[in-house]
Amino acid sequence: MEIIEKKIGSVSIVALGGRLDAYASNDFEQKLNALVDAGEACLVVSLERLDYISSSGLRILLASLKKVRKREGDIKLACMKPHVKEVFDVAGFSQLFSIYDLEDVAVQAFSKK
């Protein structure tokens, strides 16, 4: 799978592409943990190029969300394809995460706090 990191102001953006299954989730977990452990509190995970996510990917996102919310931070999600969104909906994750159609809007939402 593809993982691209970038930063806009104080917001770290992690863009995922391809297939986030249990095999790929190790890489994603390491990258996300590195950011969270480094103290990043404002994160956007952009899913525009993500074709697939299983429970392994959701588990990592939820574990990180718990950590950053304790620091008054957040992980916002952006640009989900419809069948990826369905997985979040079925899991009840759409109520736990703030979800945006556009990456820019997710990034800007941090400055509106």
Partner 1 sequence: MTIKGNKFKLKVEAALENLSVISSAVSEAMKQAKIDAAIIPGILLAVDEACTNIALYAYPERKGYIRLTCWLNHDDFVISIEDKGKPFNPCSVPPPELDAKLDDRKVGGLGIYFMRKFMDEISYKYDPKTGNQLTMRKHIGTDNRGTE
Q: Where do contacts with partner 1 occur on this chain (CB under 8 A)?
A: 19, 21-23, 52, 54-56, 58-59, 62-63, 65-66, 69, 83, 86-87, 90-92, 96
CA-based nearest residue to 58, from 97, 98, 30, 3:
97
Smallest distance from the beta carbon of 52 to partner 1, in angstroms?
7
Q: Checking phi first, is residue 39 left (phi over 0); if not, alpha (psi -120 to 50) or beta?
A: left
Smallest distance from the beta carbon of 98 to partner 1, in angstroms?
12
CB atoms within 10 A of CB 1: 18
Smallest distance from the beta carbon of 8 to partner 1, in angstroms?
25
